[in-house]
Structure 1
Amino acid sequence: MANKAGHRRFGSIRKLPSGRFQIRYPAPDGKLRSGETTYERERDAERALSLLEAKMVTGDWTDPQRSKVKLGDYAAKWISERTELRPRTVEIYSGLLRRHVAPYFGNVALGKINTEMVREWRATLASNGVGATEIAKAYRFLRAVLMTATDDQLIPRNPCRIRGAGEEKSEERPVLTVAQVFQLADLMPVRLRALILLATFASLRWGEVAALRRMDLDLNAGTVSVRQQHVELDTGELLVGPPKSRAGLRTVAIPEAIIPALRQHLDQFTESEPTALVFTGANGGILRRSNFRRAVKWSETTRKLGVPGLHFHDLRHTGNTIAASAGASLRDLMARMGHDSVRAAMIYQHRTAEADHQIADVMNGQDRTGPTDRGEWSLNKIDCVR
């Protein structure tokens, strides 16, 4: 059958020696492509051309050859091409791909993944005992990868369309009272007592407090400056870099009540050079999280405190809660926490209040001796309810 391109607005149809019909059409990239299949009847071929033309007009056309790329290969390439990602983030994404995504979707073509498969995958992870938080992280990773595949016109739309699947519903973490913070600090080896107090009342992450140097503490002004953080990879490699975000570079006011402990620590355990690490291991080396937990017998100590399962990060959570209860405004709380988005700060904010040094002053006035008759911890002007 003769080519009818002269009479057709879009594409062409030809009859093959087998008697079936094949379509050819110009793709958006300018290349002339043949249809993925042949048709028994010419009108079926015409219908296929019309459908392809409509998809190109609406922007829904995808390259059928490129959509055959396996998800595992595409996701690995997706990670490697994001040069702006921090090493720890690359490690997290690679772990999610290896543990949860690749075993199910690794050999599946991008164009074959649909919402039903994604829903089944999530159910499979849950039945295998994977926690809800981990499933949410894996889902968000897969959704991000497939969103890029959509933007690259490899697939017509992202199949990760399950409402709420990427939301984390973390369990409520414990918040220590001020008295418990000092009690925990007193249970530490002497050289690590000040670390507990500073991490809590300055709302510092582990990597931030471990990276502090003598020059970062200005005890006359009552401040600590966060300039860098330590990041420990699963391989054991320790990286030194800037905080998690631009807002992470910050100076935080600390309550006067812990300054004597900090002065004593600097005198006894910190070298005199401005660049000397404030907190070190027993032999003067860099303090690692794993070594810290062993040195202080963390699990045993937190059970003795009456808060089994306490994480070190819960100290930051406690500090944020105290600051919010002291009346921090949203902006002040974000600055203290080192966040550049309001979402995390709003978790802690209860009411608008004064600036950062005033937060520290209120924290300084809290009663360390025990609960009031109402079962709360007293402040000078307000109550910090547990």
Structure 2
Amino acid sequence: MANKKGKRRFGSIRKLPSGRFQIRYPGPDGKLRSNGTTYATEREAERALSLVEAKIVTGDWTDPKRAKVKLSEYAAKWINERPNLRARTVEIYAGLLRRHITPYLGNLPIGKIDTAAVREWRATLLEAGVGASEVAKAYRLLRAVLMTATDDLIIARNPCRIRGAGEEKPDERPVLTVAQVFKLAEMVPEHLRALVLLATFASLRWGEVAALRRMDLDLNARTVTVRQAQVELDTGELIIGPPKSRAGLRTVALPRAVIPHLRRHLGNFTGPEPEALIFTGKRGGVLRRANFRRATKWTETVTRLGVPDLHFHDLRHTGNTFAADSGASLRDLMERMGHDSVRAALIYQHRTAGGNRAIAQAMDDKINNENPDDDDGTAGGLARVG
């Protein structure tokens, strides 16, 4: 016989007008709850109450009421409750939810999503022709959302447990030779030549190079400082803000061979004010990615270069490869590339310029070795800028 009401050590059991029994108990937060299930006998209710108590003690308890919330509602709330997300990241997450997650799993209560459902969802996406990289991104987002649901005690464990499902294995990207970099710069309009060289030999992202201002270049010290980045949303809105991570704030040493090109560009195409954008559109407006592709006839140009699959980001990839070939330490490479990590964050205030300068010197050597020197010591072809 169960203890009388008021004498029970944990929770309570009450008999409903229907004759069935219902349990009530305090959750870990102290709020009184019922698991939403009724029992035919008091003994069954007693066993259920003991099981709930054991789960709370072991940390395996989940909130039965919140487990009924639909994934689409919880995921949207998950995004909204992260105020520090960049606008572009919010846009990417919302797109992944809209295209790949909500149509398949959005109406399911979170508590009903198990590993089998996740596996079937992933297989469905792949069978529908969604790219493996896109599927991996969607999987990582779903895993992050459900990990928070686990932390919120909505589900006992994250059902995203498919080994390797969140890993991307992109095709190997092309790496240009030094000669190809200078050739590409020769092939684009004159007001964009220095952009190609700077993006490559300073390992800059598109958003970083597009946001550079005159004051960010110190040609005497041969450095470029990344202070902000330009983000373009799918709506066309441009946002200028800090780089995507703390490590993105950095000063990069430049090889001597690109300085004449930058000096000429500043004199011919950049306003005299310190805040003037270094690279602009043909009419002086903010340079957008689509405008750059149109002005350079990118697809046609890289095809003539002999690298038809070249993306703009491959210029940074090329620069990163040149830097790695210099033999620089991992720390120096990560600082130059602006990669974010715990280690990089810890040493951010204590970094030195020695390895960074060594990279620039190694690039100079590479440029001069692969191109005939002129009398003034600069590389041939486009490098001959006074």
TM-score, length-normalised on structure 2? 0.89
RMSD: 2.3
1: CA distance, partners of 2:287 / 2:43: 74
More off after superposition, 360-369 vs 129-138: 360-369
Query: How far has the Cα of 1:90 moved from its partner?
Result: 0.9
> Counterpart in 1 of 2:186?
186
**CA contact 1:334–1:342 (8 Å) conserved in 2:** no
Which residue of the partner structure matches residue 265 of structure 2? 265
Instruction: Verify the 8 A CA contact 1:4 1:12 in the aligned structure 2.
Output: no
Deviation by residue 1:274-321 (Cα, 9 ceiling, x = unmatched): 111111101000110011001101011111111111110000000000
1:154 aligns with 2:144: no
The worse-fitting range, judged by mean Cα deviation, of 284-293 and 53-62 is 53-62
Gaps in structure 1 of 5+ consecutive residues? 345-353, 373-378, 380-386
Cα pair 2:2 2:42 within 8 Å, conserved: no
Q: Which residue of 2 aligns with 1:376?
A: none
Where does residue 274 of structure 2 map in the other structure? 274
Partners of 2:53 and 2:2 lie apart in 1 by 21
Determine the structure 1 residue equivalent to 2:69. 69
Task: Please state how far the C-alpha of 1:67 moved relative to its aligned partner.
Answer: 1.1
Q: Note the alpha carbon deviations across 1:251-289, whole angstroms, 9 max, x for none.
A: 111111111111111111111111111111010001100
Hey, what's the Cα distance between the residues in 1 that align with 2:100 and 2:7? Answer: 52
Structure 2 matches for 1:21-170, cutoff 5 A? Answer: 21-170=21-170
Q: How far apart are residue 43 of structure 1 and its match?
A: 2.5
Quick one: structure 1 residues 32 and 159, their matched pair in 2 at CA, closer, same or farther if it must change by over 3 Å? same
Contact 1:202 1:319 in 2 (8 A): yes
Alignment deviations for residues 150-192 of structure 1 (CA, whole Å, 9 cap, x no partner): 1111111111111221111111111111111011111111111
Please, what TM-score do these two structures have when normalized by structure 1?
0.89
8 Å contact kept, 1:222–1:254? yes
Letter in 1 for 2:299: S
One-letter amino acid matched to 2:76: A
Shift of 1:29: 2.8
Rounded Cα–Cα distance in structure 2 between residues aligned with 1:281 and 1:227: 21
Distance in 2 between residues matched to 1:338 and 1:58, nearest whole Å: 43
Secondary structure of the structure 1 residue equivalent to 2:230: strand
**Equivalent residue, structure 2, for 1:375:** none
Post-superposition CA distance 1:347-379 (Å, at most 9, x none)? xxxxxxx6111211121122568699xxxxxx9
Shift of residue 2 of structure 1?
9.2
Structure 2 alignment gaps of length 5 or more: 345-353, 373-378, 380-386
Specify the SS of the correspondent of 2:18. Answer: coil
Letter in 2 for 1:314: D
Aligned to 1:239: 239
CA contact (8 A) 1:5 1:13 kept: yes
Q: Give the residue type in structure 1 aligned to 2:334.
A: M
Residue identity (%):
74
**Residue pair 1:61, 1:153 contacting (<8 A) in 2 also:** yes
Q: CA deviation at 1:343?
A: 10
* 1:118-156 Cα distance to aligned partner (Å, 9 max, x none): 111111111111111111111111111111111111111
1:383 aligned partner: none
Q: In the aligned structure 1, how far is the partner of 2:23 from the partner of 2:272?
A: 79
Tell me, yes or no, if the aligned pair for 2:257 and 2:367 is still in contact at 8 Å.
no
Q: CA deviation at 1:6?
A: 4.9
CA contact (8 A) 2:111 2:154 kept: yes
Aligned-residue offset at 1:89: 0.9
Assess, with a 3 A threshold, how the Cα gap between structure 1 residues 342 and 78 changes in structure 2: closer, same or farther: closer
Q: Is the 8 A contact 1:24 1:35 kept in 2?
A: yes
Distance 1:177 1:342 in 2: 33
Counterparts of 1:175 and 1:244, CA distance in 2: 24
Report if aligned partners of 1:179, 1:368 keep a CA contact under 8 Å in 2. no
* CA apart distance, 1:94: 0.9
Q: Which moved further from structure 2: 35-44 or 45-54?
A: 35-44
- Residues 129, 6 of structure 1: CA spacing in aligned structure 2 closer, same or farther, 3 A cutoff? same
Count of residue correspondences:
365
